[in-house]
Structure 1
Amino acid sequence: MGKISFQPSGVLQKSEKDEKDADKTEILIPLQQQHEELSVPVRTRKAAVNGLCCMAFGLVVLMSGLVLASIYVYRHYYISQLAQENLFECRVLYEDSVYAPFRGRQELEESVEINLEDNYEQINVPVPHFGGSDAADIIHDFQRGLTAYYDIALDKCYVIELNTSIVMPPRNLRDLLINVRRGTYLPQTYIIQEEMVVVGQVHSVQQLGVFIDRLCGGKETYRLKHRSSRRRIDKREARNCHSIRHLENTFVVETLICDQA
């Protein structure tokens, strides 16, 4: 006689459920592992972007350094060399038969700055060793066609039309002073006198150009005119005049600035 037994339906269902759960466990991937796998490409892109940023910053720093180095070289070498070529210290011996007839030759000292780009000359005359002349700063502005004298002893400025028959243009004067510096040319020893008289006061020097304004701004400034040609005056006639001696040609020029009679 055979015995027939039946497995409870709950056990069967449980077994089937365990199998299904087992199958699900085998194909599921943990969330942490998924996050790590997905985050790998993002980190790679960030590293590449950071590398490009660092490279760009390095190039900017390098280019900035090159620009600053170029500016430094230009300022300290090229400009200084150019300035030296246009700055001159002059010493000239000349004869003065009126003020120093028994002293022989006198020495004139001055410093000259030539500006070819702006077409002007600036002359500084220090206090002379033997008197007879005032210390002065002089501007010859060829663009404006004007000359300004600043008498340092009087603390006054005087302005007059540029006398191109005596004052050499900047380029010509520069070539002359270069030859004097080299010793290939010596200026003439004689002196020429030009006489000027005050005709009125200038109330605004700004209209006379930036260079004359820089020299005479804030100072009493007067307008001059040339007197007619005449013989060189002596000491007694020059008591109301002030003398400025300077080199602006192949000879020494004595500029007499006289008050109105």
Structure 2
Amino acid sequence: MVKISFQPVSVQKPEKENDGDKEEIHMPYSHDEPVLPVCSKKSSMSGLWYITLGLVIFMSGLIMASVYLYRYYYSSQIPEDSLFHCRVMYEDPLYAPLLGRQELEENVGIYIDENYEQISVPVPDFGSSDPADIIHDFHRGLTAYHDIALDKCYVIELNTTIVMPPRNLWELLVNVKRGTYLPQTYIIQEEMVVAGRVRNMRQLGPFIHRLCYGKETYRLRRRSAHKRIDKREARNCHYIRHFENTFVVETVICDRALL
């Protein structure tokens, strides 16, 4: 007789990860709002701050380098100033025994890039000279005198033996302003006569055209050196004294009727 017996099967329960007296807490999870690590946002903000700071430092260095190059490299090529107020003492041999040394005052604008000079002579203290505005256009090779007392313009070829080029005149006036050089105090005279009316103003260039626009404009020619002005002619002449070199120039403009 066969005896069959069954042993009870014991079912083992899974072991708890924690002790029985501890409870497991489950955090709710939302599929719509993903949970990001807390340190990720802080790290990105720090990186952005360092990039911004680096750009600021780089731009500051670039600006300082540009200023340095401008001051120490280009300053030797570009004038510090293009406008000057000048006072020059000189002696006129004709009036020296009576008046002694005389003073000439004028404003000078020097435009190196455009290659021209503009001189403004106010009403002088003495009555033998007219106030005037003068332009020396080295590009066109012309000089224009606007006699303010007559409100007329006169144009003639530029005399480069008397008028300094813009760069040279600028250097002279800078030296005078710094007190390292004083111009010679004598006067020379150039005599001119009216040769005809100017009809086409545009051929004179933009600077002289702007000065003489709306005014009667005449062309001049220089009087020969051997023919001097007599007393009768002097009554029909006008005098403009100005400074554009190491000496004073007296420009004498006589009417065409005296030819």
TM range (shorter): 0.5 to 0.7
Q: Which residue of 2 aligns with 1:19?
A: none
- Output the CA distance in 1 between the equivalents of 2:189 and 2:181: 23
Does structure 1 residue 93 correspond to structure 2 residue 90?
yes
Does structure 1 residue 169 correspond to structure 2 residue 154?
no
**What's the secondary structure of 1:102's corresponding residue?**
helix
What TM-score, normalized by structure 1, do the two folds share?
0.66
Q: CA deviation at 1:251?
A: 2.2
Task: Give the conservation status (yes or no) of the 8 Å contact 1:96–1:105.
Answer: no
Structure 1: gaps of 5 or more residues? 1-28
Mark the CA change 1:235 to 1:126 in structure 2 (over 3 Å): closer, same or farther: farther
Q: CA deviation at 1:143?
A: 1.3
Q: CA deviation at 1:162?
A: 0.6
Residues 189-200 of structure 1 mapped to structure 2, 5 A cutoff: 189-200=186-197
Residues 50-61 of structure 1 mapped to structure 2, 5 A cutoff: none
Between the two proteins, what is the percent identity of the paired residues? 58
Q: Which residue of 2 aligns with 1:103?
A: 99
Mark the CA change 1:197 to 1:96 in structure 2 (over 3 Å): closer, same or farther: farther
Structure 2: gaps of 5 or more residues? 1-26
- Output the CA distance in 2 between the equivalents of 1:101 and 1:158: 33
- Output the CA distance in 2 between the equivalents of 1:237 and 1:156: 19
2:168 alignment partner AA: N
Q: CA deviation at 1:146?
A: 0.7
Q: Which residue of 2 aligns with 1:244?
A: 240
1:189 alignment partner AA: Y
Q: Which residue of 1 aligns with 2:136?
A: 140
Mark the CA change 1:83 to 1:221 in structure 2 (over 3 Å): closer, same or farther: farther
Mark the CA change 1:102 to 1:193 in structure 2 (over 3 Å): closer, same or farther: farther
Mark the CA change 1:235 to 1:170 in structure 2 (over 3 Å): closer, same or farther: farther
**Greater helix share, 1 or 2?**
1
What TM-score, normalized by structure 2, do the two folds share?
0.67
Q: CA deviation at 1:129?
A: 0.2
How big is the alpha-carbon RMSD for the aligned residues of Structure 1 and Structure 2?
4.1
**Number of residues paired by the alignment?**
226
Mark the CA change 1:123 to 1:83 in structure 2 (over 3 Å): closer, same or farther: farther
